[in-house]
Chains A and B, each alone.
Chain A
């Protein structure tokens, strides 16, 4: 096997592919439930994206390191243990040193463990690839998941509450004086689905690879 450089074209693709062509949320339609649950405001969405980034990349590396030792019959259990351990560790550390963030995150701890993107990447990628590649794959998929999450949260918070990160943007630019009103619908979970749908629509319009031919 010829030696591959760290950032060969193939490796770079691991990082960039999940952002668009193979996005875990909009193309593979995984991790939807957390995309609905926590995109009312930007702050929790960012916290969630960062947590998944950490858990996914570290879990990918760990499982990849262990891949030749993991008995195939209990591999799913092993993956779950790795993910759950990481999530609990993160939560404990946050509780001790960044208490406010941990309060924000507490609801999501369960959501991270059950996020099918993480299990999916461990099962589909880390078990069959080297640690470095798995790390890149983890980063790529977490970014792919994160940017959708943040994009959805951006529109839901802006249109639903008129704020961004809690800052009253629309009030400051004086939109309310012109008779504008917040759209309360955007706060409700179904609108997250519609927003994701709109993103998928736009993505398929401009990305020819995703258009099915029949």
Chain B
């Protein structure tokens, strides 16, 4: 048999491609239930981490149902709409217009029976997506904890955002200033000034990833402002903020 004939070469290539495609496709179909399960458990583990509960991945299911009391979905006006926060894929939502986005929010009740609001985050790092969870205390102002993860940030530099030393900086920071204006928390290159309640130290050599975290926090929390304002404990005076001004704020930022 002459294996160098054109017809043989084309035939060989075609059969090879079909076989390999069939093999990989069936492997993917067969294994995806197991993979999805792992991803789901990890998501629960990460959500729990943001409220300071460290569990093994396999135990996250039980702890999750114990501490996470509500999985709600909001529209851009802050109204609760139908659906479960856990099923919302932020990657899909972020591609939609602001008015059509579903905003997932988790409400957690901790062991001391205090309430935490957990906002899922997703943004852009240097090389790929970054994501995480930000837990706010009952006053919807103080950060209880934050968790970040990334797909492909530079090891040793931007990738450090998933380390606890960095995430711990966020604890007890505030997202509103004394005049109740939203300022978010900024990751600051060269280190945050002492006592600044709205800034944390950046990662040396990881400036673009750090900026990605800043942008992600600002953009995501902004969307939740109507809900947060409405759920703020009553003694504070609220600034009138309606959904159109939120939209304006976002479009201004995008320009």
Contact = CB atoms under 8 A, between A and B. Distances in A.
Interface of A: 40, 68-74, 77-78, 81, 85, 88-89, 92-93, 95-97, 99-100, 107, 187
B2 to A, nearest CB: 9
A99 B152 contact: no
Nearest to B32: A96
Contact of B27 (A78, A89, A99): A89
A74 B31 contact: no
10 contacts: A40-B155, A69-B12, A71-B9, A72-B3, A73-B4, A81-B16, A92-B28, A92-B35, A96-B34, A99-B42
Contacts of B28: 92
A47 to B, nearest CB: 14
B43 to A, nearest CB: 12
Contacts, number: 58
Interface centre among A69, A71, A95 (most CB of B within 10 A): A71
Contacts of B27: 89, 92-93
Contact of B20 (A72, A85, A93, A96): A85
Interface in B1-18: 3-4, 8-9, 12-13, 16-17
Given A74-B12, A74-B13, A99-B57, A68 B3 contact: yes
A93 B32 CA distance: 10
Contact of A92 (B4, B31, B156): B31
A71 B31 contact: no
B177 interface: no
B24 interface: yes
Contacts of B62: none
A95 B35 contact: yes
Contacts of B24: 85, 88-89, 92
Interface centre among B12, B16, B20, B23 (most CB of A within 10 A): B16
A68 B4 CA distance: 11
Interface residues of B, number: 23
A72 B156 CA distance: 43
A77 to B, nearest CB: 8
A71 B23 contact: no
A166 B194 CA distance: 32
Contacts of A72: 3-4
Given A77-B13, A100-B57, A107-B155, 8 more contacts: A71-B8, A85-B20, A85-B23, A85-B24, A92-B31, A95-B31, A96-B31, A99-B57
A96 B9 contact: no
Contacts of B34: 95-97
Contacts of B9: 71, 73-74
B38 interface: yes
A92 B38 CA distance: 12
A100 B38 CA distance: 10
A99 B31 CA distance: 12
B16 to A, nearest CB: 6
B32 to A, nearest CB: 8
Contacts of A74: 9, 12-13
